[in-house]
Amino acid sequence: MKSLIDFYKTLYSKVQSEKTTIETLVNGQSSVLEMLANGSSLAAVLDRINLLIEKVSNEGFCSIFLVNKSDHHLMFGSAPSLAKDFYEYIEELPIEPAVGSCGTSAFIKRPLFVSNIAEDPLWIEYKEKAFEYGLKSCWSIPVCDQMQNVLAVFAMYFRYNHHPSEWDIKLMEQTVNLIRLVILHFQAEDQINFLKFHDELTGLPNRKLFQEKVNTAINLYSIKQGKMLAVLYFDLDQFKLINDTLGHKFGDILLKEVADRLKSCIRDNDIASRQGGDEFSLLLNNVSRQEVTIITARIHDVLAKSFTIDDREIFVTPSIGISLYPVDGDSAEELMRKADIAMNQVKKEEGNNYQFYEAIWDKKTNERLLLENELRKAVEKKAFTLNYQPIIDISSNRIKGVEALIRWNHETIGFIPPDKFIPIAEETGLIVTIGEWVLTTACYQLKEWQESGLPLSTISVNISIRQFYQPNLVPMIADILAETGIDPISLTIEITESMTMDVEKATTILKNLKSMGVKISIDDFGTGYSSLSYLKKFPIDYLKIDRSFIRDIANSKDDENIATAILLMGKTLGLNVIAEGVETREQLGILKNHNCNEAQGYLFSKPITDEELKQFVTKLSS
């Protein structure tokens, strides 16, 4: 009878013990979740987990070591009951096979239960350190995410040889689940905090963090031997073209590579940032104007070197604007605004350069905003006109056709040159609407001339890159041809060679245009980026030699050689070649000697109105 009573007492005690253990675990897990909700640190939460498990284990000492992914080592997370010297020793362990229990467990991504450290081969190099603290067994289990990436290693040490029971294993598995939840929580929180202040694509500080860093630098600034702070603001001159032709995925890869190169150009105490799109900014601390110039030139040269993406060689060039503290402003916002103004000035001068801010440009910026507003009004009112520049057959001196050129004569501002408003139209997207108006008006004008008996066979119209890659380009031109009733062969569409960077897409568009019967001309030839080997694949009719090669053709052997090469290539490919910007008899003579087909320029006629053109044709025919 006494033995039966003892049995029930033992059983009751065991049940009560297990009940207490379960309550301790449940309460402990709840306290861990509460700590997460209250914003406790990762170290504090991991300590709580270790102390909780130690409370319900058989005199075990718990540790959690996190994975340092950068150098593939274990780093300290928590070990509240282990000696500091011991866990600092463990922290140095690499994640490799046969490196103690923890390093090996992390490597093989499986639990390892070493019940006798003295005899286990994994501990050959490390057992003496364990013996210093009386540790004789170690159980290690990796903490992995859903993709089986190791996040940490949880380990329990004992001062006696000990193999885990089924209960111990379940306890460790539950502990690992809790640790995983905690680490993923902090990783997500870190990622959210990171993205608040960093660019997701490049990892660089974003605009908000950059402004904070600049303002902090201003607050800490003191005059030291004439040193200053410099803010650089820049974008990539050809990025939009690349993005439009090769796609956003391609553009994103390019931006990441630009960011990597940028980081390699600056010093440890400088800051590089992505502002958005293809715009970047930099803060240079404690620099002279000369040092700014040197660093800026280095950045310019590094970014101007070719990028190779998906076996395609790409060139981009930066336009960089620079402002200085305390000379140009006393806040991050002001310095960035003025650096942006300086950058825009560089872009107006064809980009691929850098400029320090000058106060006079503020006035020009205000003028630019005014011009954009007026341009939007002009688009609504169709307040533009067309001029026409004759294209002359050099051998017969007869007019072959005309090029339609847009003009804007504002009612109060007066005549506004195309190079002033066309770039704004490109940036704002207004160029698509403007381009459609130009094309329609030009076709109606040609129809009128032809019906009046004027001997004009063709009219050329430039289209922008935005128009070229519009999905409705081909049907839009087809509708205009049908609406105006002109013969498609009378219309020549002019594009620049840089618009054909995406060869496959450009070829498809050009073939669709040719299938309608229109002619294709490559304008400004020799200044773009297309490969000459692709020219024979494009269904084109004309090459137009850029005026920059004609200007000095009589004085520069290089320009003459370039023009000659284009003429020879055109003849080889069966294309007519038109020389733009012919202004002197000497230039014309050289072009004749090299068998150029056609020419246009002030030597024959400036761009003129439709009435003036009628008089020009009549005079030329008489």
Strand partners, 113: 139
Give the DSSP H or E segment for 214: helix 207-220
> pLDDT-based confidence at 9, cuts 50/70/90?
very low
CA 558/CA 562 separation, integer angstroms: 6
Contact status, residue 64 vs residue 78, Cβ threshold 8 Å:
yes
125-139, pLDDT tens digit by residue? Answer: 888 988 998 999 999
Contact status, residue 491 vs residue 527, Cβ threshold 8 Å:
no
User: Does residue 5 have a pLDDT over 70?
Assistant: no
Q: Which amino acid is at 572?
A: T
User: Does residue 237 have a pLDDT over 50?
Assistant: yes
Assign a CATH topology to domain 2-195: Beta-Lactamase (3.30.450)
Mean pLDDT of 278-306: 91
Strand partners, 281: 233, 273
Query: Where do the H-state alpha helices sit in 382-472?
Result: 418-428, 430-451, 465-468
Mean pLDDT of 187-200: 81
What's the distance, Cα to Cα, between the start and end of the chain in Å?
140
> pLDDT-based confidence at 13, cuts 50/70/90?
very low
User: Does residue 154 have a pLDDT over 80?
Assistant: yes
pLDDT at 233 (0 to 100): 94
Domain with CATH 3.20.20.450 in the chain: 391-404+428-621
Domain with CATH 3.30.70.270 in the chain: 207-358
Any residues with CB less than 8 A from the CB of 45 and at least 6 apart, and which? 32, 35, 36, 182
Which of 17-31, 87-101, 444-458 is predicted with the least confidence, judged by mean pLDDT? 17-31
Average per-residue pLDDT for the chain = 86
Long-range interactions of 83-88: CB distance < 8 A, separation 24+: 83/133, 86/129, 86/130, 86/132, 86/133, 86/135, 87/63
Length of the chain: 622
CA 600/CA 385 separation, integer angstroms: 20
Residue 412 DSSP symbol: T
User: Does residue 72 have a pLDDT over 60?
Assistant: yes
575-589, pLDDT tens digit by residue? Answer: 889 999 999 999 999
The gap from C-alpha 22 to its chain's centroid, in whole angstroms, comes to 54
pLDDT at 2 (0 to 100): 44
pLDDT at 50 (0 to 100): 87
pLDDT at 4 (0 to 100): 40
379-436, pLDDT tens digit by residue? Answer: 999 999 999 999 999 988 899 999 999 999 988 888 999 988 998 898 888 999 999 9
CA 342/CA 320 separation, integer angstroms: 7
CA 471/CA 468 separation, integer angstroms: 8
pLDDT at 622 (0 to 100): 65
pLDDT at 15 (0 to 100): 41
Q: 3-state class of 139 per DSSP? A: strand
> pLDDT-based confidence at 12, cuts 50/70/90?
very low
**Percent of the chain at pLDDT above 70?**
93
**Is the sign of the CA dihedral 233, 238, 242, 245 positive or negative?**
positive
**Is the sign of the CA dihedral 88, 93, 95, 101 positive or negative?**
negative
**DSSP secondary structure, 49-79, as one string:** HHHHHHHHSSS-EEEEEEEETTTTEEEEEE-
pLDDT at 68 (0 to 100): 86
> pLDDT-based confidence at 84, cuts 50/70/90?
confident
* Greater model confidence, 50 or 238: 50
Angle CA 128–129–135, to nearest 5: 90
User: Under CATH, which number does the domain 391-404+428-621 receive?
Assistant: 3.20.20.450
pLDDT at 463 (0 to 100): 92
The gap from C-alpha 181 to its chain's centroid, in whole angstroms, comes to 34
* Greater model confidence, 518 or 58: 518
Domain with CATH 3.30.450.40 in the chain: 2-195
Query: Where do the H-state alpha helices sit in 349-417?
Result: 360-381
Q: Which amino acid is at 327?
A: V
Candidates 23, 53, 29; CA nearest to 172 is 53
* Burial degree of 36 (CB within 10 A; 0-12, 13-18, 19+): middle
Contact status, residue 520 vs residue 497, Cβ threshold 8 Å:
no
The gap from C-alpha 425 to its chain's centroid, in whole angstroms, comes to 23
> pLDDT-based confidence at 28, cuts 50/70/90?
confident
The gap from C-alpha 459 to its chain's centroid, in whole angstroms, comes to 39
CA atoms within 13 A on the CB side of 19: 6
Mean pLDDT of 233-246: 84
Q: 3-state class of 286 per DSSP? A: strand
CATH number (3.40.50.720, 3.40.50.460, 3.30.70.270, 1.10.10.10) of 207-358 reads 3.30.70.270
- The position carrying tokens 């998906």 is 310
CA 549/CA 138 separation, integer angstroms: 80
User: Does residue 339 have a pLDDT over 70?
Assistant: yes
525-575, pLDDT tens digit by residue? Answer: 766 554 566 677 788 899 888 888 888 888 888 888 888 888 888 888 888
Any residues with CB less than 8 A from the CB of 332 and at least 6 apart, and which? 210, 211, 212, 214, 215, 218, 231
CA 164/CA 171 separation, integer angstroms: 10
